[in-house]
Structure 1
Amino acid sequence: MTGSHAAPTPPQVADGRTPLWRGHNVFRVVTFLYAAFWFGMKYETYARPWLATVCISCMAVWTVFTVWRYRTRAGRTNRLVAADVVVVNTLFLLNEFILTEAHMSTSDPSVVTVWHSTGVTAAAVQWGMKGGVVAGIIAAAANLLIRGRIGADMAMDTLLLVGVGLVIGLNSDTARRSTERLARALRAEAATAERERLARSIHDSVLQVLARVRRRGAELGGEAAELAELAGEQEIKLRSLIASTPESAEDGDPDLAARLEVLRTARVHVSVPGTPVRLTEQLSADLAAVVREALANVEKHAGEKAQAWVLLEELPDEIVLSVRDDGPGIPDGRLDEAAAEGRMGIAKSIRGRVAALGGMITLDTAPGEGTEWEVRVPRAPEPGRSRGPQRPRGGER
């Protein structure tokens, strides 16, 4: 290496839900001030004014505490939000002992009044749509329990409480997903920058040494020529490795093309689309394993000078993989003989994987004409279900 540098660190990604938390804090303060106004207006009419004072005091303390905690990302814990929902609904249920029958019958505001809905907004921001709807249902149930009746105003309150949880929860889910995508993109950018830095360093040192060994060994001949050939193969592999794109995608699916590119050597030629081929982890890993098994057969049975070609095609509904070599081919019946002898490499490692992916595999071979495997699998495979018959020709090597 030509020097060492610290790997780039991806910048910290701000929580996309922070604006929602700020809105919740403002809403909590405003609704508390609204509740305090009505507390002053209705104080003399409460059945137990002292209990109303305790309730509004607890609301003030809880408002200050949660606004302070929700200001930072570290303070927005699941435990605190769960406690928030419990405290808000408990204070609301105290109105059973504060309000008179006259208050209940005329739909006068309770001591807690619209501050009650801030428990729903906190749950919706923290837990998304599902959490917001559940918190809204809990708040609506507490409201119905206190009032003890069902009417147009109660139906409207229920709709608003559940609707607020639904709408804010949807926004929270969207913000969370956007934050996760941004974080993955920044990590990929940092990884790409580090990869390029390493590639420059490797090019300036290791690759130049390997290239020099290859050239000098070829000039000397003999055993040095063998070392030169090995150095040349490693040079090609290393160049392929540093030229390949990272596997991780923004949505987390790996790139099959990148996995296949690193298989390129002096004898293995890989052709993949110019854009990433994003598949599920299982599908990508199984198809890469099929290709490696086919290339292993080429290495063992096609001869030291045999060349192999790997072709990847991405169609709208399926993935097509082709592995071809210019070896001696497979004699008729050889696959059945190998299976009878207990050699199940092709039967399990290649055909078994393809069948498990719900795909189809064909073998085109003849003595002296090389071998070509063609694999077709749907983009959304059905495990354990084959799409069609497998048509082998020839025998296992």
Structure 2
Amino acid sequence: MRPTVRFGEPLDFSRYEGMAGDRYILRSVTDEIMYAIMRLSEQEYVDVYASRAKADAKKAARTGDDEAPGKATARPPDVALRILPPGWRDAAAVAVENRMFRALALLRVVLLVNAVALNVVRRDNAQVAWALWTCVAAMVVWTGVALWGYAAPRRRRALLLLLDLAVAVALMLLTVPIKGDGFRASIPGFWIMGALLAWAVHWRWRGGAVAALVLIATDVSVRQELTQTNYGHLFLIGVGAPVVGYLCESLQRMAAERDRAEREAAAAAERARLARAVHDGVLQVLALTQRRGAELGPAGAELARLAGEQEGALRALIRQQDTLAPATAQGRSTWPARSRSSAGGPGPGSRS
């Protein structure tokens, strides 16, 4: 990977000359510099101190809890493969995935109860009874392992998902030697949906499609004939898994965009507040110049006139800013860009 150096436009802070000791001015200058760096580096702005972000990241890595304070502003653990887009590793996207896996955990328990009950009812169809109960016990054990493994983002690695799918495939392949060639229902039955949906949630529609193809191929290979009912089940698996993966991806993208819009709105509101504080000080100076300028003679009178004009223009700008402020509640809008010009103050060449 070749390093890239980007040079941005020069930043002019001459308008703050003589105000280096004002902490509000220093914060405004810092915000403007960081915003310029964000645009050059194409990184996401996080309105939190680095020390707190590091502490939150360490705490989240130890607990695996997505609800930890400050977690939304810290970079989440790398729970996805490197081939995934960076947006899918966003904290908001990981939070959506966590909720999906919690729902999947409940579904796994329901599928397990259903699989155990069906095998108990159809136990007479097994030619090797002890092998059937061994497979049932394996489903119970693996369901517990899967519930534990998928509960924390840091454990959702490729190995866990591959083992999950491998267990489902193995149980399907063992159906023939245990039940015989003429079996009607495989041993795991709908229990395989747990692994299928885990691939769809974690690896989106591509993962769902791959897992569906593997399970469909396995099911077809162990059957002597493919009935219309079997075909219907396989068709639903092949179509449903990618759709679930696509919906998960869409939810994660929307959550990441909403989180980003909220941070941008908060940063814009903070810059507007700082700009208002700076403008208040400037207005006081302009008002004083306008009142006292006439005492300095003709030159002072001209200075007072110009100060009066600039005071009126600045007050109009502040009133315009107040009318634009509600737009920040709508997420992405033209307000952040306009408020940035207000927070940064007049540009080079401005008379104020």
The alpha carbon displacement at 1:22 in A equals 3.4
The alpha carbon displacement at 1:19 in A equals 4.8
Q: 1:36 to 1:209 in 2, by over 3 A?
A: same
Quick one: which of 152, 163, 168 aligns to 2:228? 152
1:56 corresponds to 2:136 = yes
Counterpart of 1:27 in structure 2 is 107
1:36 corresponds to 2:116 = yes
The alpha carbon displacement at 1:117 in A equals 2.0
What secondary structure, in the 3-state scheme, does the structure 2 residue paired with 1:137 have? Answer: helix
Deviation per residue, 1:186-233 (Å, 9 max, x gap)? 2122212321332233234577568878998998799xx99xx9xx99
What secondary structure, in the 3-state scheme, does the structure 2 residue paired with 1:187 have? Answer: helix
Please tell me the residue identity of whatever aligns with 1:152: Q
Deviation per residue, 1:166-202 (Å, 9 max, x gap)? 3322331332122122212221222123213322332
CA distance in 2, matches of 1:19, 1:179: 12
Most deviating of 40-49 and 251-260: 251-260
The alpha carbon displacement at 1:95 in A equals 2.4
What secondary structure, in the 3-state scheme, does the structure 1 residue paired with 2:205 have? Answer: helix
CA distance in 1, matches of 2:287, 2:160: 62
Question: Unaligned 5+ residue runs, structure 2?
Answer: 1-21, 28-45, 49-69, 73-91
Q: 1:204 to 1:95 in 2, by over 3 A?
A: same
Q: 1:154 to 1:45 in 2, by over 3 A?
A: closer
1:186 corresponds to 2:266 = no
What secondary structure, in the 3-state scheme, does the structure 2 residue paired with 1:111 have? Answer: coil
Q: Is the Cα–Cα contact under 8 Å of residues 268 and 339 in structure 2 kept in the other structure?
A: no
Quick one: which of 88, 91, 96 aligns to 1:16? 96
Deviation per residue, 1:266-306 (Å, 9 max, x gap)? 8x9xxxxxxxxxxxxxxxxxxxxxxxxxxx9xx9xxxxx9x
CA distance in 1, matches of 2:265, 2:337: 19
Q: How many residues align?
A: 266
The alpha carbon displacement at 1:2 in A equals 6.5
Normalising to structure 1: TM-score of the pair?
0.50
Alignment of 1:203-352 (within 5 A): 203-205=279-281, 258=338
Please tell me the residue identity of whatever aligns with 1:57: A
CA distance in 1, matches of 2:273, 2:172: 60
Pairwise CA RMSD: 5.1
Quick one: which of 199, 203, 217 aligns to 2:275? 199
Q: 1:205 to 1:51 in 2, by over 3 A?
A: farther
The alpha carbon displacement at 1:61 in A equals 1.6
Q: Is the Cα–Cα contact under 8 Å of residues 268 and 336 in structure 2 kept in the other structure?
A: no
Counterpart of 1:111 in structure 2 is 187
Counterpart of 1:167 in structure 2 is 243
Normalising to structure 2: TM-score of the pair?
0.55
Deviation per residue, 1:327-357 (Å, 9 max, x gap)? xxxxxxxxxxxxxxxxxxxxxxxxxxxxxxx
Counterpart of 1:134 in structure 2 is 210
Q: Which has the higher helix share?
A: 2
